[in-house]
């Protein structure tokens, strides 16, 4: 792998000498005469490197002070100090401060290379171990503040709220665009509170047909409706004592909203086909990508339910508004999928990192994760370029844009399509794009699902 080394020295000749040495060995180098500038670039995610080699004596801050500041950030980049002082006390101070190693001047380049390679090896092993542990935790469904990637003010505020509300039983409403990580925040609330050893049950209210959603939430008695061949325990009961996460709560129909409101008020549920009420103790955490205040104004969401759910609101900003989180997330996903796919040695080019930061990421963290996984698998060299991560998305967008436009020139002038025929063709096209998923198609077309079902039934005849 082409490692990235930040070199810090106020002597330009020494910097050039170090740069030439490492670049001849196919290392990527980043040169700084000012340690404060390097510190700012690293803390602001403008510089991503694997190891830092810095002079001990610098004009603005010393190598020791630079190391202290880096460690105060929680940064694990190995730092190698170069010093002209041969005293043992200096070496002890350097290591005690958190430096990985030190090299005495005049520089013995083979020794420096060995130190750099050892630091890189240790750093990669630690990163792999950390990534694997995090992946295992995520696959087990657990999370914590330490497991959430992000240092922007917006995500820090969301995490702080999650930490503060976790001991309580208050209802929480998490808002944010699709793909921002609302379920991760919900799991964090669950895992940091007293319910962490009890179930965390999640359901996406938009992904289940309306006629089945009520049964999923509340359960049903045997024979209560056609197809109910046995009794079913609902998710409110499955989450007993733990947390029930209702994602996309804004897509609930009005009758179900009324039933949910009653559950929240009385803390009791009744299975479909039964007269018996059952007490529930699950904490309710909801999430939505919609603006529920606007939905209330449009009469598509009950105002009383909104106020009942919105006891503790948590907003997650879109990824484009927290650019400080983009590179740490991209690096995490690269390490995650490298470990899961047993792929070693791939890294982002500098142009790729710049492109990743500038990209709007309309699909937020989910889009970034998918793009990194695809780039890792499909990149033909160890160095992942901007086109590997973003180019395919743009190409796909262009192709989709072409496909969505009808070529009216191919329609016979002797017979134009009627509006009804044109609508039916477009509905068929939308269904094909969504692989036959009717709920997603209705949502994309911004029509009611019942309207779509009726249309499709008419199209069959």
Write down the pLDDT at residue 226. 66
| Cα–Cα distance, 285 to 441 (Å, whole number) | 27
pLDDT in tens, 386-413: 888 986 444 444 344 344 445 544 454 5
| Cα–Cα distance, 298 to 295 (Å, whole number) | 5
| Cα–Cα distance, 284 to 136 (Å, whole number) | 26
| Cα–Cα distance, 63 to 438 (Å, whole number) | 61
Compute the average pLDDT of residues 306-310.
Answer: 94
Kindly state the tokens that stand for 57.
């004596």
| Cα–Cα distance, 115 to 118 (Å, whole number) | 5
Write down the pLDDT at residue 136. 59
pLDDT in tens, 85-124: 776 677 777 777 888 888 888 888 998 999 998 888 877 7
Angle, to 10 degrees, between the axis of helix 63-72 and the axis of helix 88-97?
Answer: 20
Q: Please list, residue by residue across 97-127, b when 16 or more beta carbons sit within 10 angstroms of its beta carbon and e when fewer do.
A: bbbbbbbbeeeeeeebeebbeebbeebbeeb
Q: What is the DSSP string of 164-202?
A: HHTTS---EEEE--TTS-HHHHHHHHHHHSTTTTS-EEE
| Cα–Cα distance, 28 to 23 (Å, whole number) | 6
Q: Which domains does the chain have, with CATH numbers?
A: 4-134 (3.40.50.2300), 145-317 (3.40.50.300), 320-404 (1.10.8.60), 408-460 (1.10.10)
pLDDT in tens, 357-381: 989 999 999 999 999 999 998 888 8
Residue 438 has pLDDT above 90, yes or no: no
pLDDT in tens, 121-161: 877 777 666 666 656 555 554 444 545 778 888 998 999 99
- Contacts (Cβ under 8 Å, ≥6 apart) of 319: 179, 180, 325, 326, 329, 361, 364, 365, 368
Label the pairing between strands 219-220 and 101-104: unpaired
The chain-wide mean pLDDT, for the chain, equals 83
Is residue 291 classed as helix, strand or coil in its secondary structure?
A: coil
pLDDT in tens, 319-368: 999 998 999 899 888 888 887 777 877 888 888 888 899 899 999 999 99
CB atoms within 10 A of CB 415: 8
pLDDT in tens, 66-75: 988 888 877 7
Please provide the distance, in angstroms rounded to a whole number, between the alpha carbons at the two ends of the chain: 61
| Cα–Cα distance, 112 to 102 (Å, whole number) | 9
DSSP state of 283: E
> C-alpha 302: how far from its chain's center?
30
Return the HEC string of 41-92: HHHCCCCCCCEEEEECCCCCCCHHHHHHHHHHCCCCCCEEEEECCCCHHHHH
User: Distances from the Cα of 108 to the Cαs of 20, 102, 157, 311, 451, in angstroms?
Assistant: 15, 12, 48, 64, 77
Compute the average pLDDT of residues 58-67.
Answer: 86
The candidate with the shortest Cα–Cα distance to 310, out of 174, 439, 441, is: 174
Compute the average pLDDT of residues 182-200.
Answer: 91
Write down the pLDDT at residue 295. 94
Dihedral through CA 318, CA 322, CA 323, CA 326, nearest 10? -70
The candidate with the shortest Cα–Cα distance to 373, out of 388, 351, 358, 353, is: 388
pLDDT in tens, 195-237: 999 999 999 988 888 778 888 898 888 777 766 667 888 899 9
pLDDT bracket for residue 164 (50, 70, 90): very high
Write down the pLDDT at residue 397. 41
Contact 333, 372 (CB under 8 A): yes
Residue 53 forms beta bridges with which residues? 7, 80
Residue 260 has pLDDT above 90, yes or no: yes
Write down the pLDDT at residue 316. 94
Label the pairing between strands 219-220 and 200-204: unpaired
């Amino acid at each position: 792998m082409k490692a990235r080394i930040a070199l810090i020295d106020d002597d330009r000749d020494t910097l050039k000498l170090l740069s030439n040495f490492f670049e001849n060995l196919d290392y990527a180098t980043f040169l700084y005469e000012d340690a404060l500038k390097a510190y700012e670039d690293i803390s602001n995610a403008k510089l991503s490197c694997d190891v830092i080699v810095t002079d001990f004596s610098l004009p603005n801050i010393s190598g020791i002070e630079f190391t202290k500041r880096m460690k105060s950030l929680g940064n694990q980049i190995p730092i190698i100090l170069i010093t002209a002082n041969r005293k043992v006390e200096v070496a002890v101070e350097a290591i005690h401060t958190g430096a990985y190693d030190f090299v005495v001047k005049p520089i013995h380049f083979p020794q420096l290379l060995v130190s750099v390679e050892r630091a890189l090896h240790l750093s990669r092993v630690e990163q792999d171990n950390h990534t694997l542990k995090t992946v295992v935790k995520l696959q087990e469904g657990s999370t914590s503040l330490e497991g959430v990637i992000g240092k922007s003010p917006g995500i820090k505020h969301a995490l702080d709220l999650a930490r503060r509300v976790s001991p309580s039983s208050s209802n929480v409403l998490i808002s944010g665009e699709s793909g921002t990580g609302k379920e991760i925040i919900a799991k964090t609330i669950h895992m940091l509170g007293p319910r962490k050893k009890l179930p965390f049950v999640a359901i996406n209210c938009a992904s289940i047909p309306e006629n089945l959603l009520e049964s999923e939430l509340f359960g049903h008695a045997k024979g209560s409706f056609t197809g109910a061949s046995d009794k079913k325990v609902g998710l409110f009961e499955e989450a007993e004592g733990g947390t029930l996460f209702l994602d996309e709560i804004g897509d609930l129909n009005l009758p179900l909203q009324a039933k949910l409101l009653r559950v929240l008020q009385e803390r009791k549920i009744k299975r479909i086909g039964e007269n018996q009420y059952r007490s529930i103790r699950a904490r309710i955490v909801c999430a939505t990508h919609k603006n529920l205040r606007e939905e209330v104004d449009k009469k598509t969401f009950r105002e009383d339910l909104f106020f009942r759910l919105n006891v503790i609101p948590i907003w997650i900003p879109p990824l484009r508004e927290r650019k400080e989180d983009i590179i740490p997330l991209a690096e995490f996903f690269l390490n995650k999928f490298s470990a899961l796919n047993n792929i070693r040695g791939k890294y982002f080019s500098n142009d790729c990192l710049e492109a990743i930061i500038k990209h709007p990421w309309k699909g937020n963290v989910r889009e970034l994760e998918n793009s990194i996984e695809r780039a890792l698998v499909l990149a033909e060299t160890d160095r992942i370029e901007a086109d590997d991560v973003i180019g395919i998305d743009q190409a796909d967008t262009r192709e989709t844009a072409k496909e969505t436009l009808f070529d009216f020139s191919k329609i016979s002038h002797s017979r134009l399509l009627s509006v009804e025929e044109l609508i039916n063709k477009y509905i068929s096209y939308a269904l094909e794009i969504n692989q036959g998923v009717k709920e997603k198609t209705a949502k994309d077309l911004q029509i009611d699902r019942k309207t779509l079902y009726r249309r499709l039934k008419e199209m069959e005849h």
